[in-house]
Amino acid sequence: MKKVLVLIPLSEEQKAQLEALAPDYRYSYVKDSEVTEAQIQDANIIFGNPAPGMIHASANLEFLQLAASGADGYVKSGVLKEGTALCSCTGAYGQAVSEHAFALTWSLIKKLHLYRDDQAKAVWGDEGMVSSLRGATVVVVGLGDIGLQYARLAHAVGAYVIGVKRRLSACPEGVDELCLTDELDTVLPRADVVCSFLPGTASTYHLFNDERYAKMKPSTYFINCGRGTALDGEALCRALEQGVIAGAAADVTEVEPLPADHPLWKQRNMIITPHISGGFHLPVTLENIVSICLANFAAYLKGEELRNVIDFTTGYKK
């Protein structure tokens, strides 16, 4: 009898739907914060995000369906045994993360964070000129599901959107111009807003560094809602302190939680949210995750093609 370990918070109805797909399997439902290494090692199928360090290339594990869109912690050598199917939940977070990034963008360009600071000090002040997305050039780096949904939000309010992606394709609706990652340096000087939705891979590590910030205009705003490793935090501090860029926002940082003494906390033109744009904060996200899990479990049982299979070489979905 195969054992299924579920680390995603399912309703009783959702549990019934899952178990109906394979009634003869044994199911365990555990909070990801309470799961033990023994439970992980014993499972044949896992839904959710077990700590990579607790998997140890488990000989029993056949299929790991993540609840996250990023798989960077699971493609490292020694985490999963060869042949283990690894799938992400790409497509589940588009609405939640894109809307969060869009809100961060508006907060920066309208200086709402500065007025919130003033409110905390009971200061009735004027923080000066603001800008708009109407007529602005927005560069979206990482044009997957989340990036594309953000691009369409920006385009809908009048921005000229440049999408940056790894592989060339037809220009999607909501994007005015498309270029490859290798061409990033040529479009950064044009940007009023740069928003990154890059995954954490070897090729994206510290992609945004001193050199890249220097290519932006002093009036440019930078937002990161992909992976924290894509930006060099120390370089971002320098860019903000020296006025190289106008401001920044990040829902993700290279080290999480961000240490209390990290200089990013002290930057006046910086907005930090604690990696909460995804998760289950927006109810539809969990609904999307469950839908993907059920569809992939059904495909797995039938030996059919799985959705969002991860390429262990690139860290991206195939």
Active site residue 183: no
Residue of 146, 154, 80, 151 whose CA lies nearest to 312: 80
Catalytic residue among 183, 256, 287, 304: 256
Give per-residue burial for 38-63: e unless 16+ CB within 10 Å, then b: ebbbebbbbbbbbebeebeebeebbb
Q: Give CA–CA dist 273/80, Å, rounded.
A: 31
Active site residue 155: no
* C-alpha torsion sign, points 217, 218, 222, 228: positive
Active site residue 275: yes
Interacting residues of 83 by C-beta distance below 8 A, sequence separation 6+:
62
SS3 221: strand
H-type helices in the chain, by residue range? 12-21, 37-42, 94-109, 112-120, 145-156, 184-187, 210-215, 233-241, 283-302
Catalytic residue among 100, 113, 155, 227: 227
Query: Which residues are catalytically annotated?
Result: 227, 256, 275
